[in-house]
Structure formats: structure tokens, C-alpha cells
């Protein structure tokens, strides 16, 4: 069967030598196990190389990592904003807009859901404990594979609900930021019990743009819903003929 090429964005060191690009292997395994061919997309690739790679990609996974520069959504920087990489912001915001414009399937994870929102003109809560204090610890101290809070998914007519195969999932949580004002064309479709947005999507049956605030790549070993997310993006990428 045709194996689609799925771009996976990477983290990058900030103000540290040597410069490194890196990604948790869990993303690579999750895409590979779903039948995709993972291709790592690092910041600092030239515009020419990115354009050439883009022509070959069938799908895109945006990964977790440091914070987006709040200047990207017109705000001053909260003191807890950390690990900002201008190069990573630039690459990922650009790729996201291309994916949306050209209808390339996109799964946006953790930082990724935030990149998706900012790319479409939305804003972020820059620090949940400071700006939206509540009973849920979104920066869990438990192991990454351990779910720590519930997420409820909107039932009626959501792509996320159909893909997950369930409307209630227990998720891990490793984020101190979240979506505030939604970007153009996005709708919120999943929430933590404290109201923090944990899932978004773009409407349209012909469109696959999903964002989740949790880390399904760490849950694939125990959770069918997490596996379903990767299976879905690979499946849509496979059916989409770009060549
Ligand atoms: Mn959370």
C-alpha cells in the first residue's frame, strides 16, 4: 500500500551551543506505526529546501515544544514565556498556512495546536496558572504516558469525535499555555473540565485540520483513541493524491 510522507516538525536549541534540532521519538514511532513515512522538518532549512520538501509531503504533524513569541499574536511577553525560537516559529507558521491553503492533512499537537491557532490569527493564554488559575494541573509532574485529566469532545458532527471514536478521553497534559481567542476558521471542539480548550478543528468533510492540546504520541501504547489520531492523518494523507 502507498505509504504517505508525513512531515514532523522538530524542536531546536535556543541560545545553546551546539545548535541542535531534536524531537521525541514517540512522534516518529506513532507516524511510522500508523503506516506513514516520517520526515523530520527542522528549523533553519532554507526556503528553497522547505519549498522542495513541501511538494513531496502528503501530511504534516506539528509537535510540542517551547512557546511561540507572543509578538506573533500582538502581545507583550509574559515573564513565564520560555524557549522561544524565531526560526521554529517562522517555519511552523509558514507550513501551517500552506497546509490550510492547500488542504494538506494536518495534525497539530500541544504547541502545534497553539501554532495552528496563531497562524490563523488567534491568541494564546500565555500562562495558565497566572491567567486562568484553576483546579487542573496542565503541567503534570506524572510520567508522560500517564493520563491526568479528562477531556470532553463535542458530540455533534465533529471530525475529532469521529476520529477518536469516543467523546470522553483521559489525557496527559504538558502545557502552560492554551488557546485564548480562536483563529479564523477554527472551532473549539474539546475541553478540559476547567474550560481550557483541548481540541480544535476546521469544518468541512474535505478538510483534515485537527489540533489537540494533549500528547497522543505518548498514549498510543495504551489508548486506541490516540492511535486513531495518527491512523486518521496517515489515512487522509494516503488518499490525497498530490503527485
Ligand atoms: Mn491539559
pLDDT digits (tens, 9 = 90+) for 139-181: 999 999 999 999 999 988 899 999 999 999 999 999 999 999 9
Omega before residue 18 within 30° of 0, cis? yes
Residue 241 scores a pLDDT above 80: no
Separation of CA 125 and ligand 1 centre (Å)? 13
Instruction: Write down the pTM of the prediction.
Output: 0.97
Contact 173, 149 (CB under 8 A): yes
CATH architecture, domain 5-239: 3-Layer(aba) Sandwich (3.40)
Q: pLDDT tens-digit profile of 45-81?
A: 999 999 999 999 999 999 999 999 999 999 999 999 9
CA of 158 to the centre of ligand 1 (A): 20
For the question of residue 217 being annotated catalytic, the response is yes
3-state secondary structure of 183: coil
Q: If phi over 0 gives left and psi between -120 and 50 gives alpha, with beta otherwise, what is residue 35?
A: left
Q: Do 67 and 84 meet the contact criterion of CB atoms below 8 Å apart? A: yes
Query: Which one of 110, 138, 149, 201 is the catalytic residue?
Result: 110
**Residue of 92, 198, 217, 218 marked active site:** 217
> 5-9 and 37-41 as β-strands: parallel, antiparallel, unpaired?
parallel
- What backbone phi and psi angles, to 5 degrees, belong to 140? -70, 150
Cα→Cα distances 175→32, 128, 213, Å: 25, 8, 8
For the stretch 190-212, pLDDT in tens is 999 999 999 999 998 889 999 99
| d(CA 36, ligand 1 centre) in Å | 27
CA proximity to 151, closest of 198, 210, 187: 198
188 grid coordinates: 473549539
Quote the ligand 1 centre to 178 CA distance (angstroms): 8
The average confidence (pLDDT) of the chain is 96
- Is 215 a catalytic site residue? yes
Catalytic residue among 138, 201, 215, 218: 215
Q: How far is CA 80 from CA 14, 76, 85, 127, 228, in A?
A: 16, 12, 15, 7, 34
Q: How much helix, strand and coil, in percent to the nearest 5, is found in the chain?
A: 30, 20, 45
Q: What is the CA radius of gyration of the chain?
A: 17
Identify the pLDDT of residue 242.
54
Q: State the pLDDT at residue 35.
A: 97
**Residue 114: CB atoms within 10 Å:** 29
Taking the domains of the chain in order of start, what are their residue ranges? 5-239
For residue 168, report the distance from its CA to the centre of ligand 1, in Å: 14
Query: Separation of 138 CA from ligand 1 center, angstroms?
Result: 4
Amino acid at each position: 500500500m502507498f505509504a504517505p510522507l508525513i512531515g514532523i516538525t522538530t524542536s531546536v536549541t535556543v541560545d545553546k551551543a551546539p545548535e541542535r534540532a531534536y524531537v521525541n521519538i514517540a512522534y516518529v514511532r506513532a507516524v511510522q506505526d500508523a503506516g506513514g513515512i516520517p520526515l523530520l522538518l527542522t528549523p533553519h532549512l532554507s526556503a528553497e529546501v522547505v519549498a522542495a520538501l513541501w511538494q513531496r509531503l502528503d501530511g504534516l504533524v506539528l509537535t510540542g515544544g517551547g512557546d511561540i513569541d507572543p509578538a506573533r499574536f500582538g502581545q507583550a511577553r509574559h515573564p513565564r514565556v520560555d524557549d522561544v525560537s524565531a526560526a521554529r516559529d517562522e517555519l511552523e507558521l509558514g507550513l501551517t498556512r500552506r497546509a490550510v491553503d492547500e488542504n494538506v492533512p494536518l495534525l497539530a499537537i500541544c504547541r502545534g495546536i497553539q501554532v495552528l491557532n496563531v497562524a490563523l490569527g488567534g491568541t494564546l493564554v500565555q500562562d495558565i496558572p497566572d491567567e486562568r488559575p484553576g483546579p487542573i494541573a496542565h503541567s503534570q509532574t506524572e510520567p508522560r504516558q500517564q493520563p491526568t485529566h479528562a477531556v470532553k469532545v463535542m458530540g455533534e458532527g465533529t471530525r475529532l469525535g469521529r476520529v477518536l471514536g469516543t467523546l470522553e478521553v483521559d489525557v496527559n497534559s504538558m502545557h502552560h499555555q492554551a488557546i485564548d481567542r480562536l483563529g479564523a476558521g477554527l472551532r473549539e471542539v474539546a475541553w478540559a473540565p476547567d474550560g481550557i480548550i483541548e481540541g480544535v478543528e476546521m469544518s468541512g468533510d474535505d478538510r483534515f485540520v485537527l489540533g489537540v492540546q494533549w500528547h497522543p504520541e505518548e498514549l498510543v501504547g495504551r489508548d486506541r483513541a490516540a492511535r486513531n489520531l495518527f491512523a486518521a492523518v496517515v489515512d487522509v494523507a494516503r488518499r490525497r493524491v498530490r503527485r
